[in-house]
Amino acid sequence: MAVEPAVIRNVCLIGHRGSGKTAIAETMIGLASGRSGPAGHHVLDYTDEEAERGMTLGMSVATLEWKGRQVNVLDTPGDGGFIADAFVAQRVADCAILVVHAQDPIQVVTERVWRRGEREGIPHVIVVNHLDRERTDFGAVVEQLRARFGQAVVPLNLPIGRENDLKGVYGLLSGTAFIEGEQRAEIPEGMEDEVDEAKIQLFEAIAESDDTLLEKYLEGEELSTEEAFEGIRKGIADGVIIPVLATSAERNVGMDRLLDVVAGSVDRSRWIDDKGDEVPCDPEGPFAAYVFKTYQDPYAGRLSVLRVVSGRCRSDEALTNPRTGSAERLGGIAHLVGKERVSVDEAVAGDIIAVAKLKDTNTFDTLCKPERPMVFEPVELPEPTSSFAVGARARGEEEKVFDAIKRITDEDPSLKLERDEATEEDILAGLAQMHVELALERISRRYGVEVASREPKVPFKETIMGTEQAQGRYKKQTGGRGQFGDARIEVSPLPRGEGFEFENAIVGGAIPRQFIPAVEKGIVEAMRQGPIAGYPVVDVKVRLYDGAFHSVDSSEMAFKVAGSMAFKNAVEQARPVLLEPYVRVEVLAPTEMVGDIMGDLSGRRGRPMGIEQRGERQVIQAEVPQIEMLTYARDLRSITGGRANFHVESGHYEEVPPNLVDKVLAANEREEEKEKVG
């Protein structure tokens, strides 16, 4: 029998790498199972890659019970290269727990996940972790958080003791000190002033969350404990109170208090379908579930994780996927605790479940009843910033390699595989170099195939600056019927981006009509490789104005060769130049870093196009040669400490300055046709 929505709580842990999110989640699991500490090593960070690197690389889900509540915990990565899972988690959870490190609370990912949470409208709770470390000051951290995230940030409890002497926490609402499993209804000695000051902040925030409470507070009446707790719950849900809790996951200090806060708060009004209609969390409503994560389980195969938005479902339920129109049937329904699955009979609105072997359903799809179709929008993910050209290392394994890449991109939609027709390369792009490298490592481990990778080519082109005429004459005699074709052409430049124009100016039958298309075909084939470095020739007009033929020896093949020869001869004389692609770049950064970023872009031959304010940050717009952007993701992280991110769009082509031709060709590391991926 499934629990009802009223007792389900969905929370996600977000924050910078090293803040202790996974340790907090595993301590929650341990406490819920009756232990006094973490559930065990690598319950959530269970993959080989996570164990080797000592960091979370993907979202993990754990279902636990605490004081009559079912709590679904989503643990997310804190490295910027894997931040997409944190964005997804804030879509499907009911509350986000922002975990900050007591020694350095406001870090890059802290700000990025916070901004996304504001866009998603998700309530927040802040946890200050690692308070047992040296040089930590809870009060100073709270002030930093208030300065960055606003006056709604208020402490809900205070640490008892500092650094290595951390003993427990004091609850400002309950008036109770929690020290090593014991409860004392008294203020710890020496904390009286600190408690009074924190209570004023907290009760002012509670009063401001509700007009009735505010009126009572301003008239000097004391708020009851029940009113205060209800004010906190409502204030968190409305985003006007952001409570801060003191913890040390390593010492299990304050962890039960955090679970109590999670168990006491819920808000589920944020689900809107693609038509703009609100979908309430109603177990008797039409069934709809949102697929927010896909795993490739080595034993179960494809495993889809769903947030049940509305209605209820059982195993073997017949559903439909509105995106594909495909019918789907739910296999066994389970809750997850890391990689372990716990079977359940039924799931209701508000729950998070795992289902194996959906045949035609991807991440961000919606499953619903055929008679009541419903769709929820996909999560907007960060733009890829790091790209590799990929292919099979061994001949004959191309199909296996690209099937494995597809499986990995299904599992992680922030990875993109696209074909670049200009360079004839397959490009795998991700949020950071390590993000793509990890994907390639997983392919090797899971599927036993090796993917070759390298930096992608930049699609240079060539064109001409002058007008010239040339002849292409092909004559071959081998004893029998020979080959003869003669074409005379004039080449001239076209405006940038115009491509190719062919004009037939033959008069008097100098070249018979049936051979004209062959001349054009030969010219088009010759345009594939220009005279400077073998790049395609573009923005050229070709006028065929004269020629000659032989009544017996002329053929389509002969005129095709003649057209090709004529084009090559003409282009070599028409002042050929190298063209390079420019991209449009937008960099979002703190104001104080604008100067450094502008200087770096100028050093890349970039042209600033403007600066504008966007919230508290600045957007720098520029046009930059694509060849200069190959290392930009890494370099921008170095310049700004990871506090800036950027977006790139395709732009236009421009002539490479003559003094830089050798440099840009060398930077592209282009070889002849023998070059292969890897």
Give the Cα separation of 511 and 384 in Å (integer).
Answer: 53
Q: Per CATH, which fold does 579-668 belong to?
A: Alpha-Beta Plaits (3.30.70)
Q: Which helix (H) or strand (E) holds 411?
A: helix 398-411
Give the Cα separation of 347 and 365 in Å (integer).
Answer: 18
pLDDT band at 282 (very low <50, low <70, confident <90, very high): very high
More confident residue, 211 or 179: 179
Would you call 123 helix, strand, or coil by DSSP?
coil
* 386-454 maps to CATH 3.40.50.150: no
Same fold yes or no, 386-454 and 579-668: yes
pLDDT band at 441 (very low <50, low <70, confident <90, very high): very high
Buried b (16+ CB within 10 A) or exposed e, 453-489: beebbbbbbbbbeeebbbbbbbeeeeeeeebbbbbbb
Structure tokens at 241: 């109170």
Give CATH for domain 462-574.
3.30.230.10
Could you tell me the CA-to-CA distances from 38 to 16, 25, 68, 161, 250 in Å, in that order? 20, 8, 20, 22, 8
Could you tell me the CA-to-CA distances from 580 to 101, 160, 540 in Å, in that order? 45, 63, 16
Quick check: 678 pLDDT over 70? no
Amino acid at 108: V
Specify the pLDDT at position 238: 87
Average pLDDT, the chain: 90
Would you call 318 helix, strand, or coil by DSSP?
strand
Quick check: 339 pLDDT over 80? yes
pLDDT in tens, 287-323: 999 999 999 876 667 899 999 999 999 988 899 999 9
Paired with 182 in beta bridges are: 179
Mean pLDDT calculated for residue range 137-151: 93
Would you call 433 helix, strand, or coil by DSSP?
helix
Specify the pLDDT at position 563: 96
Specify the pLDDT at position 667: 64
In the numeric block, the tokens 């001409």 are attached to 464
Specify the pLDDT at position 300: 65
Quick check: 671 pLDDT over 90? no
Amino acid at 262: V
Distance of alpha carbon 348 from its chain centroid, rounded? 29
Report the percentage of the chain scoring pLDDT > 90.
67
Give CATH for domain 288-368.
2.40.30.10
Mean pLDDT calculated for residue range 664-677: 53
What is the 3-state secondary structure of 604-625? CCCEEEEEEEECCEEEEEEEEE
Specify the pLDDT at position 112: 87
Q: Tally Cβ neighbours within 10 Å of residue 41.
A: 9
Specify the pLDDT at position 37: 59
Strands (E), 102-216: 124-129, 153-155, 157-160, 168-171, 176-179, 182-184
Quick check: 345 pLDDT over 70? yes
Quick check: 670 pLDDT over 70? no
pLDDT in tens, 467-511: 999 999 999 877 677 899 999 999 999 999 899 999 999 988 999
Specify the pLDDT at position 669: 58
Specify the pLDDT at position 673: 38
pLDDT in tens, 250-277: 999 999 999 999 998 777 777 999 999 9
pLDDT in tens, 93-106: 999 999 999 998 98
More confident residue, 478 or 418: 418
Mean pLDDT calculated for residue range 436-459: 91
Angle at 265 between CA 7 and CA 199, to 5 degrees: 150
Cα radius of gyration rounded to whole Å, the chain: 32
Q: Indicate the domain borders of the chain.
A: 5-184+241-264, 288-368, 386-454, 462-574, 579-668
Quick check: 666 pLDDT over 70? yes
Quick check: 531 pLDDT over 50? yes
* 5-184+241-264 maps to CATH 3.90.180.10: no
pLDDT in tens, 551-562: 889 999 999 999
pLDDT band at 73 (very low <50, low <70, confident <90, very high): very high
Give the Cα separation of 603 and 599 in Å (integer).
Answer: 6
Specify the pLDDT at position 298: 65
Q: What backbone torsions phi and psi does residue 298 show, to the nearest 5 degrees? A: -65, -20
Quick check: 675 pLDDT over 50? no
